[in-house]
Amino acid sequence: MDPVMTPTFFPSSSDSRETLDAFFESFGFTADADLSRLSAWVLGTRGQETRDAVELARARMEDWLSGVLGAGLARGGALLSRGRAAFVLCEAARWGADVLTLGPGEVPPELTRTLRAAVPIPAPRELPAVMPEQQLVLWPLGELFRRWWRAGEPDVSISR
């Protein structure tokens, strides 16, 4: 009996490079030199294996962002999305790919201050709530007269 061989798909280096380029373009990098340097920064740590290139890029960016922005930002679990928003808002990509590859401790203080100031404030979680009942008053002046007239009656309150 012959064993059945199932083909396993391993993305080629060009596929992983395209996905990495798309990932880093979402941070605002557009120059080919920056994108190739960032791809080498991510893929250089894993050698030839490129299956988890985007996951590795996310992990590297989260490490970098937590080092630059501080550990307090990671509480909500939205470090990458809030860090990306700050990165794009302050146009940090104009500093080039060297800023990311140097490490969080070597980032210029001006960029660190700008990034920390650009971090968006998170919105509160949505919670289910009951909307109070609303009443439609078609003639507000008449409603005012009705309330004023009934205010003189015993056991009747003006407010509802």
What is the residue-level pLDDT of the chain in tens, covering all 160 positions? 444 333 333 344 456 788 888 999 999 998 898 888 888 888 776 554 555 888 888 888 888 888 888 766 655 568 888 889 988 998 888 888 888 887 767 888 898 899 888 888 877 888 898 988 887 778 888 888 888 887 766 655 555 5
Q: Which domain holds residue 90?
A: 13-118
Alpha-helix runs per DSSP H in 32-102: 32-43, 53-69, 79-89, 98-102
Q: Is residue 70 part of a domain?
A: yes
Q: Is residue 151 part of a domain?
A: no
- For the chain, the distance separating the N- and C-terminal CA atoms, rounded to the nearest angstrom, is 85
pLDDT of 2: 42
Q: Is residue 78 part of a domain?
A: yes
pLDDT of 9: 32
Q: What is residue 145's three-state secondary structure?
A: helix
Kindly list the distances between the CA atom of residue 132 and the CA atoms of 89, 124, 126, in Å, as whole numbers in the listed order.
38, 21, 17
Q: What is the pTM of this model?
A: 0.63
Q: Is residue 142 part of a domain?
A: no
- Number of independent structural domains in the chain: 1
Q: Is residue 63 part of a domain?
A: yes
pLDDT of 68: 85
Q: Is residue 90 part of a domain?
A: yes
pLDDT of 70: 79
